[in-house]
Amino acid sequence: MSATRQRGYRRLTSTAIALIGAGALIAGCTSNEPESSGSDGGGNNAASDNDESGDTVVIGFSAPAADHGWIAGITEAARNEAENYDDVELRVAEGTNDVSTQISQVETFINDGVDAIVLLPFDGAALTPVAVQAMEAGIPVINVDREFDDPAASRATILGDNYGMGVSAGAYICSRLEGQSDAVVAEIAGIDSLPLTQDRSQGFADALSECGLDVSNRVAADFTVEGGEEAASNLLQAAPQIDALWNHDDDQGVGVLAAIEGAGRDEFFMVGGAGSANAMRAIESGDSVLEATVIYPHTQAADGIKLARLVAQGKNISDLSSQGVPRRIVLDAPVVTSDNVDQFIDNAFES
């Protein structure tokens, strides 16, 4: 096995382990049934119901401006989750893409003495110092999606799996193009300078290499409808024949699909990314080149609210024997197709 394939295999294996663990951990957060007591000495075997009402918890929430369907879905998911609990008071700061403003929002939460903060930083590095300040003030911070530079800046971190997204997209395309070693695979990425885009592309390349394929044509967009349409137009002009296309983001996918329709191209199938409702409706209809999308959960923020509540109330995740809440959770990146779209569409965000 080559060094590249070995590296890809190790990363694929670690991704799979993380995904299995995340499913159990989040299920534990939402357990409605008391656990039976056991005798294995674990710290969390007593009967418990994490959804039982407890002491009121005031949670401050801050995220970037909702100028993108996924980000809008993040804030909506956080609000909806908080409404499920009569012991949670959620204080939502106005979404902003200005780092100084978001820092001020967190400082206000600290001064107000909230019980926990759920923070999706516009810039993880820039928000690290104020998150550390909150932690030092005794306010647990739940870091969502974009990581801080310092592990001391958060009590727990919950993430989507960008590398796993690429792996899922590549594995699906491999399954569809089985035996077609000369197939032309194209890729429309997001913003190339972002680590998340780099991780998605690396996972995609590693998965494709497992079936002897690689990316023949690649362009980058900017996660917007306009950027997606422009990038797709350029790609279609440069590639007269395509067999499969992965677009990293369903919001920019609106523009990508418009460009494909305008060019009259339908010789290939397309896989999307993030899991928007409009993408799933296109998959469901069967009338589009888009036949699958890879989930990047906008429900991360909802899980952040759950974790913040557990931490602030001193509760455990009930499906673990160990006490407390894990420091880091990485969520799954499943592929949605016409076969399973009904399992996901009701919980999808709108682009």
Q: How far apart are CA 246 and CA 84, in angstroms?
A: 36
Cα within 13 Å of Cα(7), Cβ side: 9
Report the relative pairing of strands 141-144 and 88-92 from DSSP bridges. unpaired
214 and 174 share one domain: yes
In a domain, 2, yes or no: no
Establish if 83 belongs to a structural domain.
yes
The domain that holds 278 is classified in CATH as: 3.40.50.2300
Q: How far is CA 326 from the centre of its chain?
A: 18
Q: What is the pLDDT of residue 250?
A: 97
Per residue in 295-340, pLDDT (tens digit) is 999 999 999 999 999 999 999 887 777 888 899 999 999 999 999 9
Instruction: Residue 55: give the domain boundaries.
Output: 51-160+298-314
pLDDT digits (tens, 9 = 90+) for 168-214: 999 999 999 998 999 999 999 999 998 999 999 999 999 999 999 99
Q: Would you list the DSSP string of 209-258?
A: HTTT--EEEEEE--SSHHHHHHHHHHHHHH-S--SEEEES-HHHHHHHHH
Q: Are residues 218 and 285 in the same domain?
A: yes
Reply yes or no on whether the pLDDT at 21 is more than 80: no
Residue found by looking up tokens 């997209």 in the block: 169
Residues 249 and 304 in one domain: no
Average pLDDT over the chain, rounded to an integer: 88
Examine the pLDDT at 91 and tell me if it is beyond 60: yes
pLDDT band at 25 (very low <50, low <70, confident <90, very high): very low
Domain presence at residue 65: yes
Mean pLDDT of all residues in 87-112: 98
In this structure, the answer to whether residues 216 and 306 fall within a common structural domain is no
Our count of domains for the chain comes to 2
145 part of a folded domain: yes
Q: How does pLDDT run across 59-80, given as a tens digit for each residue? A: 999 999 998 899 999 999 999 9
Q: Within this chain, do residues 169 and 288 fall inside the same structural domain, yes or no?
A: yes
